[in-house]
Structure 1
Amino acid sequence: MDEQQQTYHIPVLLAESIEGMNLHNGGIYADLTFGGGGHSRGILDQMGPDSRLFGFDQDEDAEQNIPDDPRFTFVRSNFRYLHNFLRYYDIEETDAVLADLGVSSHHFDDATRGFSFRFDAPLDMRMNKRAGISASDIVNTYEEERLADIFYLYGELKNSRKIAAAITKARAVKPVTTTGDLVNIVKPFFGREREKKESARVFQALRIEVNHEMEALKEMLQAAIRSLKPGGRLVVITYHSLEDRMVKNVIKTGNAEGKVMQDFYGNKQTPLRAVGKAIVPSDEEIARNPRSRSAKLRIAEKQND
């Protein structure tokens, strides 16, 4: 992998995720979170000459990383539209689908995108810079109760109501337009020893809301199940409890809510079968790439209809 790709994003659990895809020549594959292209390049290196790989990403910055390989097709779209775009390319079934749900190093390190509290930058956080509302729009226009719900549900912050009240009070004096503005508002609610971790939860909650991440993940998982052929693999890398719970529920029951469905005879109805237990990064990988610390790799196989 060249220096540019390493700078953009270091792929997490690369060997383990590619092994989980169970590659073979002639297979149809999808990397739903193309980003820096690290996972895609690994897949291309190991898949056969007659295979095809589709890389999805809604961020225009990812296009600079497209590999020069006739077996690869880049799709500039949110992964929730997987099934629609596969049909556009006359693909009925896939052999494996990979999704690394982590935010890339590129997004955290690019001060202009507003994903990190390490920089004082415009409070944006949009993965797709062409559309949608920004984090600044949310903190300046959402009602206090709705803000509190976002911080509680997506950031799992126990003092979400106090944080929302402080933001509402501050924006009445001056609009909250930068990451620095937001950090200064929420900092008093966190002790010094937990300031970074709790601030990260605030930013995580806003990022999830800005990009509709949980709704998109739910739609993507259903689209992936629909597109996989029997025996095809779903390979997902999660980073926080909300997304991991949803992925685990879908693998176990076929739906995001974890509701067990049964047929007339009481047999459980689920389209997937878990392949092994969740895989976590080795100590060596965490040392090389600290952002992999919270990663979990879950692999499932599509069962016969």
Structure 2
Amino acid sequence: MREHAQPSHLPVMFAQALDGLRVVGNGRYLDGTFGRGGHARGLLDRLGPDGRLLVMDKDPEAIAMARSLADEDARVAVYRGSFADLAGWDETLPGLDGVFFDLGVSSPQLDVAERGFSFSKDGPLDMRMDPDSGESAANWLARATDTEIADVLWTYGEEKLSRKIARTIVARRDDTPILRTAQLAELIASVVGRGDSKIHPATRSFQAIRIHINRELEDLERGLDAALARLKPGGRLAVISFHSLEDRIVKRFIAAAAKAPPGNRRMPVAQDFTPSLRDLGGAQRAESSETTVNPRARSAVLRVAEKIGAEAAA
């Protein structure tokens, strides 16, 4: 069995995620967010020669790295696309012993100014995880109404000044198209003000636009349904979230599959409920030893659930 070198800086909640998946040597596992392969390589190291690792990602750079890994290791299969479509991949048809999602934007994506994710590095205002499909953030901001922009900033970023920011974007774009990340960040800062907060005033708005452009929450909901459909009884689902909107979706999904809804006084006859998941411990946080060296881990939440077979649910 090949030993795969881990990156010098381990991915967020590396050991906790792998322990949660409870990897069996001959199992079939899917990493729906390959990124730069940190968690995937950890999975491979725990798999035996008969194991199988399926990896997915929208990002062409991530897929290039995944294909290099697959060239080295025949146990790896690669699919470019959203994990929302995992059930449509033939490799998942035999069933999965584990599914892993590490949500949000990856550090390498933030570090490359040309990808347009970061307000701290000037670059084209793109924000697409898959730059070959969909609409860029610049194109969307050029055509959306102020109401549409405000709704996105509020819904996905909980930005209190969403309407004022949206009106300012619409007022300025006719004179000067908003094509660069620095332009947008400065515009938002001029509306919100910098104040004493350590958080950049554009943080919430950039997050909201990125989530909208990539349909992240819609993909998450579809991906969770697909994961449950493809998991074998006893298979594990592990999801790392980085903000409350994502975590709320994961938490509610697991709860809805794990326990019956509360009773309704207007419906005296109890409705049949068969659980399909077992919640394994609720929200887990990164250890202090990790958050000290990796500040990004401070907002990470890991949730793990196990699929229940028909006999166990009965």
- Assess same fold via TM > 0.5: yes
User: CA deviation digits over 1:16-72, x for unaligned, max 9?
Assistant: 101111111221100010010000000001122211010111111013322221111
Q: TM-score, normalised by structure 1?
A: 0.92
Measured in 2, the distance between the counterparts of 1:143 and 1:265 equals: 47
Measured in 1, the distance between the counterparts of 2:176 and 2:288 equals: 45
Question: Within 5 Å, which residues of 2 pair with 1:69-80?
Answer: 69-80=73-84
Which residue of the other structure, out of 190, 195, 198, is the alignment partner of 2:193? Answer: 190
User: CA deviation digits over 1:206-249, x for unaligned, max 9?
Assistant: 10011010110010000000001111111000000000000000
8 Å CA contact retained: 1:51, 1:71 = yes
Q: Tell me, which stretches of 5 or more residues in structure 2 are unaligned? A: none
Q: Which letter maps to 1:122?
A: P
Partner in structure 1 of residue 148 of structure 2: 146
Partner in structure 2 of residue 244 of structure 1: 247
Identity among equivalent pairs (%): 40
Q: Determine if the alignment matches structure 1 residue 81 to structure 2 residue 81.
A: no
Q: State the 1:203 CA deviation.
A: 0.5
SS, match of residue 194 in structure 1:
coil
Measured in 2, the distance between the counterparts of 1:49 and 1:144 equals: 55
Which residue of the other structure, out of 283, 286, 290, is the alignment partner of 1:285? Answer: 290
- Structure 1 residues 276 and 101 mapped into 2: Cα distance closer, same or farther (>3 Å)? same
Partner in structure 1 of residue 29 of structure 2: 29
Partner in structure 1 of residue 116 of structure 2: 114
Partner in structure 2 of residue 260 of structure 1: 261
Measured in 2, the distance between the counterparts of 1:196 and 1:122 equals: 22
Q: TM-score, normalised by structure 2?
A: 0.89
Q: Tell me, which stretches of 5 or more residues in structure 1 are unaligned? A: none
User: CA deviation digits over 1:229-288, x for unaligned, max 9?
Assistant: 111111000000000000000000039xx9938896335444211101311111111122
Partner in structure 2 of residue 208 of structure 1: 211
Partner in structure 1 of residue 228 of structure 2: 225
Q: Which letter maps to 2:271?
A: G
SS, match of residue 286 in structure 1:
helix
8 Å CA contact retained: 1:111, 1:121 = yes
Q: State the 1:170 CA deviation.
A: 1.0
Measured in 2, the distance between the counterparts of 1:230 and 1:90 equals: 14
The structure number with the bigger radius of gyration is 2
SS, match of residue 73 in structure 1:
strand
SS, match of residue 149 in structure 1:
helix
Q: Which letter maps to 1:115?
A: F
Q: Give the stretch that moved more between structures: 186-195 or 167-176.
A: 186-195
Q: Which letter maps to 1:226?
A: A
Q: Which letter maps to 1:178?
A: R
Which residue of the other structure, out of 300, 307, 313, is the alignment partner of 1:302? Answer: 307
8 Å CA contact retained: 2:20, 2:304 = yes
Partner in structure 2 of residue 137 of structure 1: 139
